[in-house]
Structure formats: C-alpha cells, structure tokens
Structure 1
Amino acid sequence: MKSTTRGTLAAALMAAAAGAAAATPAAAVGTVPVPLPLGGVEKSLHVELPEVTGQVPVPKPGAPDGPRYVEGRLLPERVVPRLPVSAGLPGLDARAPLPQVLGDDFDHAGVDAPASDLRTLGPGLAVDAPLTPPDADHFGLPDLKLPQAGVLTPVLQGAPTADLGLGSGL
C-alpha cells in the first residue's frame, strides 16, 4: 500500500472516530443538539450576541404492563394499561455578553441547564363488570353487583437542574 493511500485511510479513520466520539454523548442521553447560529448577525450588526445551544429529547416508548387477571373478577384488572414513555427535558446552554461600565471589555452571564431524564406513565383505566363470576350455589349463574370503574393516574418523574453564573471575559 502506498504511503499516500495509508495517510488517506488513517485520516478517514480518525475523522470517523472523532465523529463517533462527538455523537456518543447525544446518543447516550437521548437528545439531539440544536445550535442557534448567530454569527452572521453579529458580523452584520457589529454587536456581541448571546451564544445559545440546546438539546431536544428523543422520546422512547416502553412496553405497557398488560392486563392482569384477578380471581373474582370477570374483566382483567387493567383494561387499558398505562403506557410508559421515557425521554428527557430539553437542555439549554446560553452565554450573554455583559458590557463593563468602565472600559470596552465584556463579562458574561451564563445559564447551563443540561437535558435531564424524565419518566412518564400515561393514564390507564380499570373497570369491572356488574356481574360476579358464575356461582355454583345459583346453578352456575352470576349474581348482580355494582359496576366498578377507576382511572389510573398518570405519573411524571424527573429531576431537572440548572446553573446560573456570572464571569469575566466572553
């Protein structure tokens, strides 16, 4: 193999490895990075604008818990099961320039709110028929009873964090 071919192959492998390393954190968290390009506006207006990037979560639906049959009921315990969805809260990283009162230098104010995990369970439904199971004392016929219906409440779990700060320089 020629040295130019080896050099090209090595450069291609290094670029692929760098791309994979850059894509791994977003894939691990389940977010897609979204930069806000303001460089053209800064150059055209000759002002310092904030640097803003964000992360948008990718929701992943889970497998619902199926209906459970309980002794003494005609219908399963959860007729409409709750659907779990895991995703994340969107993240934000913003740095805004703050001009100093004396001089031409800038300080900055920053907000860093990384994407955080969020776990949800959708609402479900539990109902029971107005009949009992077949009863041997009544020749195999069911008895009447009051119907039952219930809504399984949705669940939302998460722990978002954020850092606010001031600093010198941009």
Structure 2
Amino acid sequence: MKPTTRRTLAAVITGVAAAVGAAATPAAAAGSVPVPVPLDGVSKSLGMEVPKLGLEVPLLTPGAPDGPRYVTGRLLPDRTLPQMPVTGALPGAHLQAPLPHLLGDGFDHAGFDAHASDLRTLAPGLAVDAPLTAPNPNNFGLPDPKLPELGVLAPALRTVPVADLGTGPGL
C-alpha cells in the first residue's frame, strides 16, 4: 500500500471515529439515547402524512453502595447487605400527528412530548443481627442470648416526569 493511500485511510478512520465519539458523548451525558422511528417509507407508499415518532431509551448507571456501618453493641454491621443505587432516566417519547384543520387554519398537528426524566433508585437492602449480644464482662466475657433481628431496607424511587400536549402549525 502506498504512503498516500495509508494517510488517506488513516484520515478517514480518524474522521469516522471523531464523528462517532462526538455523537455518543452527548447521549451518554444526558442519560438517554434518542431513537428516531423511521416512518418516511410509510408516508411515501401511502401518499399521505403520517405521524412523526421518536423515543428516548434510558442508560442505567449503577452507583457505589453505602458500606456496612458498625454499631456499638451489635455483632454484625448495621447494613449487612447494603442498598445499591442506580441512576438513569425514564423513557421519553415525542409524537407529532397531522390534523386536517379540525381546530382552524392555524392548527396543523397535535404533539405529545414526554421528555426523559432523571430517575434515582435504591435497591432493597438487608439488616441482620445475630442472636447473641456483644461479650458481657459481667458474664465472664461470654455473650448473652437475645432474639435475632432481621430487617428489610425498603427500595426507593425518585423521579419527576414531565409531559407536554399541544397543537400547532406545521408538522
């Protein structure tokens, strides 16, 4: 292969890699990936306007769990199985459907936009304690028996979904 051909091939590969990297970076930073639904073929085959549809698929990111916490008087740590946080987004949707001037001359489409909303979750956790107390100096250093403890840490879900519904000119 000639050096000119190698340089040209390297330049093309570098340009493609830069374009793919530039396109992937905003999607990863936003927490969701936009997915357009191609309906142009249906529009051309039927000879009429069809709705425009786009979706946003969330990217889930696991976080670092809070470690076990040691508590005075217990043999086992407070959160034996810690809760795992997961962040991401709710799926979004964008839809524009044509209207045949039902609402007057200025309204040509109805639109629905549900943007991808931030989502924060915590998986359920487990808190367990042994059926023995810590060593008791009054009992020659032996632990005292007690009832075992078992607790489930409830999962959590935090989000604020937002959606817009409206009409307007053009499609």
Q: How high is the TM-score relative to the length of structure 2? A: 0.84
Contiguous gaps of at least 5 residues in structure 1? 1-10
C-alpha separation in 2, matches of 1:60 and 1:145: 41
* Residue identity (%): 64
Query: Which amino acid letter does the alignment assign opposite residue 28 of structure 2?
Result: A
| Kept in 1: contact 2:28–2:59 (CA 8 A) | no
CA distance in 1, matches of 2:103, 2:121: 51
For the residues of structure 2 that align with 1:160 and 1:101, how far apart are their CA atoms? 30
Residues 4-25 of structure 1: per-residue CA shift (max 9 Å, x gap):
xxxxxxx999988776655443
Aligned twin of 2:30? 29
What 5-or-longer segments of structure 2 have no aligned partner? 1-11
CA change 1:100–1:64 in 2 (3 A) is: same
The answer to whether structure 1 residue 100 and structure 2 residue 94 are counterparts is: no
**TM-score between the two structures when normalised by the length of structure 1:** 0.84
Q: 1:25 aligns to what SS in structure 2? A: helix
SS in structure 1 at match of 2:151: strand
Q: Is the 8 A contact 1:99 1:105 kept in 2?
A: no
Q: In structure 1, what is the Cα distance between the partners aligned to 2:133 and 2:13?
A: 71
Is 1:167 the counterpart of 2:141? The answer is no
- Aligned residues between the structures: 165
Measured at CA, do residues 103 and 92 of structure 1 come closer, stay the same or move farther in structure 2, by a change above 3 Å? closer
Q: Match of 2:27, as an amino acid?
A: A
In the alignment, which residue of structure 2 is the partner of 1:8? none
